[in-house]
Amino acid sequence: MAVRNVGEKYKCNVCGNEVVVTKVGGGELVCCGQPMELIPEG
């Protein structure tokens, strides 16, 4: 899933890392060799 908006939160389902987008570059976030999952707001 490509990053779309500043402030989106993503989680790695393998190790549990979480990241918050501060600048959109349009790429996909990958951790532990797998795409990170977007955490829904709210």
Q: Return the CATH number at 21.
A: 2.20.28
pTM over 0.85: yes
Altogether, the residues listed in the chain come to a count of 42
Note the helical H segments in the chain.
Answer: none
22 within domain boundaries: yes
pLDDT tens digits for range 7-42: 999 999 999 999 999 999 989 999 999 999 999 987
The residue assigned the tokens 């790695």 is: 12
2 falls within a domain: no
Asked if residue 30 belongs to a domain, the reply is: yes
Domain with 29, as residue range(s), is 9-39
Do the domain assignments include residue 1?
A: no
Bridging pattern class, strands 18-20 and 9-11: antiparallel
Number of domains forming the structure of the chain: 1
